[in-house]
Structure 1
Amino acid sequence: MRGSVAVIGGGVGGLAVAGGLHRAGWRVSVLERSPGLPAVGTGLGIWPSALRALDRLGLGVAARECGRVQPGGAMRRPDGSVIATLDAARIRRRHGEGVYLLSRPALLGVLAGALPAGVVRFGSPVTDPLALAGEYDVVIAADGIRSATRAAMFGDRYPLRYSGMTAWRGTVELDVPAGGETWGRGRKFGLTPQATGVTNWYAAVAADEGYRPPEGDVAALRRLFGDWHDPIPALLERVDPAGVLHHDVHLLTPLPSYVDGRMVLLGDAAHAMTPDLGQGACQALIDAVALVDALARERDVRGALARYDQQRRRPTQRMAAMAARASRLSRVRRFTGVRDLAVRAALAFGPPG
């Protein structure tokens, strides 16, 4: 099947599905509200299943060349003692390769590079997604966690929910030998090597929705995490306030369908989840490949979208539920010994690939 498709949103999922459909012979337009691709951004963990999705799109080699294989890491307590380890060799044995970390700009650059000039229309916000359905054979909404298309499809029946955590993230010029997370009482700090001399970091704290520290973000981070084990204090001393992103963490109430007529949701627009398993970008890439395959195999749009919905809705909602459980564990303030046992058991079973 061939036709015309509008993709709302030029993020990871939107560019991935656009590239796949362009290769399959579709006439594709990507409508992106931002003025261009980002020049800076934090890191994205790309797990083996998502790397295979990139391979299906013909972009796996380029993505691996832009990324960095992650060494094993550990879950620690604030004093540095180990709760559990993340065995990189075990991940490679189980899934055939390890986890790569790519900066968001690098991954978006790879995805955008697969599209001819002019396909992505920057500075083109979509105010009426329903109107596009009359102009295109398929409308794919990859417009993020606050998707206007999802609101047009369902109204306010399936709202975003506050996770109970507020989060910060950024990068610093610092080398660390391995990544990992440190869990305290209702707060956690994570770091991952991104490139030579650059480390990706993030922090999260259980707090009321809308929390903004009166002393400012960097001062609050140093107050909350500055006495934790090395290299966290040294990293915090290098944080540039201008490069810190701070936002409350939300997740989406599960939807009854990702499809309405010839409109379909993809990525965070369909299944926004907490970042605890590092699966947001990964699931968007897998969504993209599934949707491209469905539109290539089925004779009609509605049949293709039904196939995609059947294939992707339950797995992504299960992943979102797993991430939400991990988020609840990280908010624990009491009985942290029991929590640590649960974390150790979960890592022993194996993270999602």
Structure 2
Amino acid sequence: MTTSSTRGERTAIVAGGGIGGLAAAIGLRRAGWSVTVLERRPDLGEIGAGWSFALNAVRAADALGVGDDLRAVSVPTQAGATLRTPDGRYLMRFRPDLDMALLANHRSDLHRTLLAHVPAECVRAAAEVTGIEQYEGGAVVAYRTPDGPEQLTAEVVVGADGIHSAVRRSVFPDASGPVFQRILCWRGVSASGSVWPVEGFQTWGRGARFGAHPLPGQRVFWFLTVRQDQPGARYDDDPAEIRHRIGDWHDPITALVDATPPESILRHDIFDLDPLDTYTDNRVVLLGDAAHAMTPFLAQGACQAFEDATVLTAQLSGDTDIPTALAQYNRLRRPRSQRVQRLARRDPKISLSTNPLAYGVMTRLTQMAGGAVAARKSARLWDWTPPALDQHHANPVEGE
């Protein structure tokens, strides 16, 4: 058995090397902790397509010291305040002087940027967590590698290993698993320069939503979400199925699908989690999707993970008592993140309705309400201020 440090610092194990796990590792290292990241996949590169970040996530990234890096791999997108119908009519249009653009980036670009802040010796790939045993003062994490089983001890274990979290299953075996939300989503990124410029938009159809965000390098991330009664649907030709679903929707929707290499198109069933009773158990804490996986309809999943990492860092700074600090993290994070989680589950019940009457009422009310109402709704999500982080014990990190 080994420990996660040989230098006398406080020690943490982060299960999961995605965006949330890396953000937590960066924050804890800046607070003086020795951190080991265990990533199940052998390839440390992030899979996926694109996404967008609102002001609350940018504030959290700034607090963690990576805000400039986030901005450097991102471009503004107007998709948060530009809403259209399939025939091209605007229900809501971005107002440059009033609306705030989101920041859009490719997942792999952001992941690579965050990974550069965590020394290579702190990250173990192909390390799948299989169990956790707590004891007074710490925990033992069992994990499997290509060379066989291993164990690692630390004072804190952070479960940032996604919606199917092994940490959550180990510590909270009675918690319910992922819940299918009757939604199927395709995602893709157009070839550089093929369809450009695109400022960002969302299009609401009956039982379907298409969205597009510009990305650096004159690429465009797009998604199509549709109602799907059962998970596991498979199609011989995903691009053809997508074209069938969007029909003659307005430009440049079909052009974006046509400009995307078919083999790169991703198809996922959308699951979330029922709210958990707690995010912590003594020395173990959950973060991001492991704690509060949500549907993507508010574009807040990764944003909430950044918030989690910032609050966790603040609570574990200095010489605080660890169980007390984690209990405070739970008290601060669970109400807000679960409110966002509930809103993200509720949104598609309306915006993905297949009922013609409901769709008509929704689009008329959205057009009548205009951008001011949408801005007030967004502000309630984005109006979050990160805690001050104590940088007194900060470790140097690569790239600084």
Q: TM-score range by the shorter chain?
A: over 0.9
Once the 2 structures are TM-superposed, how far is the Cα of residue 154 of structure 1 from its aligned partner? 2.1
Aligned to 1:56: 63
Inter-partner Cα distance in structure 1 for 2:62 and 2:235: 46
Residues 67-86 of structure 1 mapped to structure 2, 5 A cutoff? 67-71=74-78, 73-86=81-94
SS of 1:79's equivalent in the other structure is: coil
SS of 2:68's equivalent in the other structure is: helix
Once the 2 structures are TM-superposed, how far is the Cα of residue 143 of structure 1 from its aligned partner? 0.3
Find out whether 1:238 has 2:259 as its counterpart.
yes
Contact kept, 8 Å, 1:20 with 1:289, in 2: the verdict is: yes
TM-score norm. by structure 1 comes to 0.93
Aligned to 1:153: 171
Q: Can you list the C-alpha shifts for 1:283-329, whole angstroms capped at 9, x where unaligned?
A: 10110010000011562110010110011001000001111121111
Inter-partner Cα distance in structure 1 for 2:51 and 2:207: 24
Find out whether 1:142 has 2:160 as its counterpart.
yes
Residues 17-32 of structure 1 mapped to structure 2, 5 A cutoff? 17-32=24-39
Once the 2 structures are TM-superposed, how far is the Cα of residue 253 of structure 1 from its aligned partner? 0.4
Mark the CA change 1:160 to 1:40 in structure 2 (over 3 Å): closer, same or farther: closer
Pairing partner for 1:126 from 114, 125, 129: 129
Contact kept, 8 Å, 1:31 with 1:121, in 2: the verdict is: yes
Once the 2 structures are TM-superposed, how far is the Cα of residue 130 of structure 1 from its aligned partner? 3.4
Inter-partner Cα distance in structure 2 for 1:349 and 1:20: 31
Aligned to 1:337: 360
Q: Can you list the C-alpha shifts for 1:139-175, whole angstroms capped at 9, x where unaligned?
A: 0000001111111222243222111111110101222
Contact kept, 8 Å, 2:13 with 2:158, in 1: the verdict is: yes
The residue identity in structure 2 corresponding to 1:138 is V
Which ranges of 4 or more aligned residues in structure 1 deviate by more than 3 Å? 86-89, 129-132, 341-346
Aligned to 2:390: none
Mark the CA change 1:340 to 1:123 in structure 2 (over 3 Å): closer, same or farther: same
Aligned to 1:218: 239
**Root-mean-square deviation over aligned CA pairs:** 2.0
The residue identity in structure 2 corresponding to 1:6 is I
The residue identity in structure 2 corresponding to 1:330 is S
Q: Can you list the C-alpha shifts for 1:48-88, whole angstroms capped at 9, x where unaligned?
A: 11111111111111221111122465211111111223445
Inter-partner Cα distance in structure 2 for 1:220 and 1:267: 32
Mark the CA change 1:205 to 1:58 in structure 2 (over 3 Å): closer, same or farther: same
Find out whether 1:347 has 2:374 as its counterpart.
yes
The residue identity in structure 2 corresponding to 1:311 is L
SS of 1:178's equivalent in the other structure is: coil
SS of 2:250's equivalent in the other structure is: coil
Q: Can you list the C-alpha shifts for 1:227-269, whole angstroms capped at 9, x where unaligned?
A: 1111011112223221011111011000010001110000000
Contact kept, 8 Å, 1:34 with 1:124, in 2: the verdict is: yes
SS of 2:206's equivalent in the other structure is: coil
Pairing partner for 1:167 from 157, 160, 185: 185
Once the 2 structures are TM-superposed, how far is the Cα of residue 342 of structure 1 from its aligned partner? 4.9
Q: Larger deviation: 214-223 or 258-267? A: 214-223
Of all paired residues, the percent bearing the same amino acid is 38
Once the 2 structures are TM-superposed, how far is the Cα of residue 226 of structure 1 from its aligned partner? 3.3
The residue identity in structure 2 corresponding to 1:187 is A
The residue identity in structure 1 corresponding to 2:88 is G
Once the 2 structures are TM-superposed, how far is the Cα of residue 43 of structure 1 from its aligned partner? 1.5
Q: Larger deviation: 80-89 or 196-205? A: 80-89
Mark the CA change 1:274 to 1:23 in structure 2 (over 3 Å): closer, same or farther: same
Contact kept, 8 Å, 1:158 with 1:254, in 2: the verdict is: no
Mark the CA change 1:89 to 1:13 in structure 2 (over 3 Å): closer, same or farther: farther
Once the 2 structures are TM-superposed, how far is the Cα of residue 44 of structure 1 from its aligned partner? 2.1
Contact kept, 8 Å, 1:170 with 1:244, in 2: the verdict is: yes
Aligned to 1:5: 12
The residue identity in structure 2 corresponding to 1:77 is T
Q: Can you list the C-alpha shifts for 1:95-124, whole angstroms capped at 9, x where unaligned?
A: xxx421121111112211112221011111
Aligned to 2:53: 46
Q: Can you list the C-alpha shifts for 1:156-201, whole angstroms capped at 9, x where unaligned?
A: 4322211111111010122233111111111111111112421000
The residue identity in structure 2 corresponding to 1:198 is R
User: Unpaired runs of 5+ in structure 2?
Assistant: 1-7, 141-152, 383-400
SS of 1:44's equivalent in the other structure is: strand
Once the 2 structures are TM-superposed, how far is the Cα of residue 330 of structure 1 from its aligned partner? 2.3
Aligned to 2:308: 287
Aligned to 1:95: none
Aligned to 1:37: 44
Find out whether 1:267 has 2:288 as its counterpart.
yes
Task: Decide which structure has the larger Cα Rg and report it.
Answer: 2
SS of 1:192's equivalent in the other structure is: strand
Inter-partner Cα distance in structure 2 for 1:227 and 1:320: 33
SS of 1:25's equivalent in the other structure is: coil
Contact kept, 8 Å, 2:180 with 2:231, in 1: the verdict is: no
Inter-partner Cα distance in structure 2 for 1:5 and 1:64: 28
Aligned to 1:65: 72
Once the 2 structures are TM-superposed, how far is the Cα of residue 211 of structure 1 from its aligned partner? 4.6
SS of 1:248's equivalent in the other structure is: strand
Contact kept, 8 Å, 2:51 with 2:221, in 1: the verdict is: no
Aligned to 2:103: 100
TM-score norm. by structure 2 comes to 0.82
Find out whether 1:313 has 2:334 as its counterpart.
yes
Inter-partner Cα distance in structure 1 for 2:178 and 2:47: 27
